[in-house]
A and B are shown apart, each in its own frame.
Chain A
């Protein structure tokens, strides 16, 4: 079974631009969650989608948004990029979500904001 895939792997943007990241979960998994990893803040939860609905959200500004499609693929969007948005963005998938089974992570998208 193929693992979680994320595209693109690397991205360079400038301040004020917007960016869209994509995550394809393991086949059959309905939950997709997103995380931001920075040297200063570590790994932080952004949000979780399940069956095309956002179920949970972390403590991030409204510039961070996402969606999930009927095939469970998910996209994350960051608008009006700031220098502090430079980070590794990871997504994870699982069958039913938190508290039920293992979370499997993709390779990440490394975003640099200049």
Chain B
């Protein structure tokens, strides 16, 4: 099956810093989503991005489907950005999650 790897596994930042999270996948996929899991467990949609670049405020994402990777950029990080970030790829019949990047932002 498709393998999804995320890096780095852990990231510690001071407020105001920028960061880049990476998601590699082993085979062609139909779509890719980025999620933020808050401390209570809820998965919040960030981007639905099968290819190209999208931006939403301080967050942006780029997926290069032909090279099988996606990047999530967080600029001017805030303490509320803390949590676990997951990428998930879709084939025709399921959503396959990566192992996640745990981000901690300190004031």
Binding site for B on A (CB under 8 A): 33, 35, 37, 42-45, 48, 55-56, 58, 88, 90, 92, 98-99, 101-108, 110
A45 to B88, CA, bound (A): 11
Binding site for A on B (CB under 8 A): 30-31, 33, 35, 40-45, 48, 86, 88, 90-97, 99-100
How far does the Cβ of B88 sit from chain A's closest Cβ, in whole Å? 8
Q: Which residue of A lies closest to B44 (CB)?
A: A105
Q: What are 17 A-B contacts with C-beta separation under 8 Å?
A: A33-B95, A35-B97, A37-B41, A42-B100, A43-B88, A45-B94, A45-B96, A48-B93, A56-B93, A90-B41, A92-B43, A98-B31, A98-B94, A98-B95, A99-B30, A102-B33, A105-B35
B94 touches A58 (CB 8 A): yes
Residues on the B chain within 8 Å of A99, using CB: 30-31, 90-92
How far does the Cβ of A51 sit from chain B's closest Cβ, in whole Å? 15
Indicate whether A105 sits within 8 Å of B97 (C-beta atoms), given known contacts A43-B86, A99-B91: no
Residues on the B chain within 8 Å of A55, using CB: 93
How far does the Cβ of B26 sit from chain A's closest Cβ, in whole Å? 16
Residues on the B chain within 8 Å of A101, using CB: 48
Residues on the A chain within 8 Å of B96, using CB: 45
How far does the Cβ of A47 sit from chain B's closest Cβ, in whole Å? 9
Residues on the B chain within 8 Å of A42, using CB: 97, 99-100
Q: Which residue of A lies closest to B30 (CB)?
A: A99
Residues on the B chain within 8 Å of A92, using CB: 43, 95
Indicate whether A108 sits within 8 Å of B42 (C-beta atoms), given known contacts A43-B86, A99-B30: yes
How far does the Cβ of B96 sit from chain A's closest Cβ, in whole Å? 7
Residue B90 contacts which of A43, A98, A104 (CB distance < 8 angstroms)?
Answer: A98
Q: A98-B91, A99-B90 are in contact. List 19 more A-B contacts (CB 8 A).
A: A33-B94, A33-B95, A43-B86, A45-B95, A45-B96, A48-B94, A56-B93, A58-B94, A92-B43, A98-B31, A99-B31, A99-B91, A102-B45, A103-B90, A105-B35, A105-B43, A105-B44, A107-B40, A108-B41
How far does the Cβ of A9 sit from chain B's closest Cβ, in whole Å? 9
